[in-house]
Structure 1
Amino acid sequence: MYEALDQYTQRLEPELMEEISQMGHLRKYKAGKVLIDFGSYLKDIPLVLSGTIKVVREDSQGRELFLYFLGGGDTCAMSLTCCMNQKKSEIKAVVEEDAEVVMIPLHCMDDWMKFASWREFVFGSYNDRFEEMLNAVDSLAFMKLDERLMSYLLDCKQSAGDFSIRKTHQQIATDLNTSRVVISRLLKKLEQEGQIELHRNMIEVL
């Protein structure tokens, strides 16, 4: 499994990489698989090798709010928090594009704090996810819906490393808490402005 962890070798110490290779469990998940659900207790920490995972939060009325995407080289700070505090998950993580993930047992969290690179990785992940959540809050509070939509499409492009986004208008509407009709209208507007191109079952960011 050591080869599969290649993208982490420049960030983590060789001794730590060896322990991850020994303790981690390599898993492959198809799109649509729920890795973390609301209210569940977590026993493992995900290290994403490839693919895209969407993280959302749920409000009191059961509506989901998109927070951020995870791609190769990422881990979920919210899952780290839940594991360390042994509390129920307040987020949901769903595989957007087929993903490979290394699941790390919870007890390794404390053991690996002796490695400077692991501490830096964990705190860096907290910082990255915190900034992304602040961006999500800012977009709700200050951005118009067309700006939120374009920001969302750019997030999709960056996390997947692909200019082509394979999502339905309804999926995007769900993530942005609006209707499919509104999203379709705004996508057409963005196309007219030359920011995207619409194809059958695909959106291309220009």
Structure 2
Amino acid sequence: MIEDLNLYYGHLFEKELLEEINQVGTIKEVPKGMMMMEVGQYIKSMPLLINGAVKIMREDEDGFELLLYYLERGDTCSMTLNCCLGDKKSEIRAVAEKDTKLIMVPVKKMEEWVAKYRTWRSFVFESYHIRMKEMLETIDNIAFKKMDERLLQYLRHKKELTDTNEIKATHQEIALDLHTSRVVVSRLLKALEKQGNIVLHRNSIEIINVD
């Protein structure tokens, strides 16, 4: 574990903190598609991502999901931090976007490290800042952008996230992420295919040009 910590978090944390994480943390490997956190669940530990990606979603009163942001290597989740520090139930759902490896740190260490390590405080505050910007971007997209623009941005982000031109997702899954209907997504994807931007396959989308 210490090798992964030094490689991906060594530039962020001092040696003493890295050694503490190595002592109390546990490695967790999660396959693609696995639910990692559910709404209403108490959080016992906080994740530090080593590799992979995690999709963070919010659920409305009617049970519909909205994609908030993705976590990638070197990240942690500010929503999780908030629940850890406040001993609250989770308000988000987390699903592995691809095979993911994490270091899980016990909740009891959170407040101790905030007081003890300057680099941990900076990491926590910066995580809040980054996630807040991403959530504001999501709100702006919903409020001000047309659905075709949101779909193109979504496809670009998925391409960058997975580092491949093949996006394995059904129209229904995309609709859920974008908080819209499958019919709307299918119509817009067909339009993009006619324009030569994508090629539609069964349960996957081949990216030609979405820049």
Would the TM-score normalized by the shorter structure come out above 0.5? yes
Aligned partner (choices 119, 122, 143) of residue 120 of structure 1: 122
Distance 2:198 2:20 in 1: 44
2-structure distance, mates of 1:141, 1:94? 25
Correspondence list, 1:1-206, <5 A: 1-5=1-5, 6-113=7-114, 114-205=116-207, 206=209
Deviation sequence 1:163-203 (CA, Å, 0-9, x none): 43222222111111222232122123223444444445433
Residues 70 and 159, structure 1, Cα contact 8 Å, conserved in 2: no
Contact 1:78 1:91 in 2 (8 A): yes
Report the identity percentage: 49
User: What is the DSSP-based 3-state SS (H/G/I as helix, E as strand, rest coil) of the residue aligned with 2:179?
Assistant: coil
Aligned residues: 206
What letter is aligned with 1:175? D
Note closer, same or farther for the CA distance 1:186–1:46 as it changes in structure 2 (3 Å cut): same
Secondary structure of 2:153 counterpart:
helix
CA distance in structure 2 between the aligned counterparts of 1:64 and 1:39, rounded to whole angstroms: 14
Normalised TM-score (structure 1): 0.92
CA RMSD of aligned residues (A): 1.7
SS in 1 for 2:88: coil
Give the unaligned 5+ runs of structure 2: none
Which amino acid letter does the alignment assign opposite residue 147 of structure 1? E
Which moves more between the two structures, 180-189 or 192-201? 192-201
Instruction: Tell me the amino acid that sits aligned with residue 140 of structure 1.
Output: I
Taking a change above 3 Å as real, the CA distance of residues 59 and 52 of structure 1, as seen in their structure-2 partners, is: same
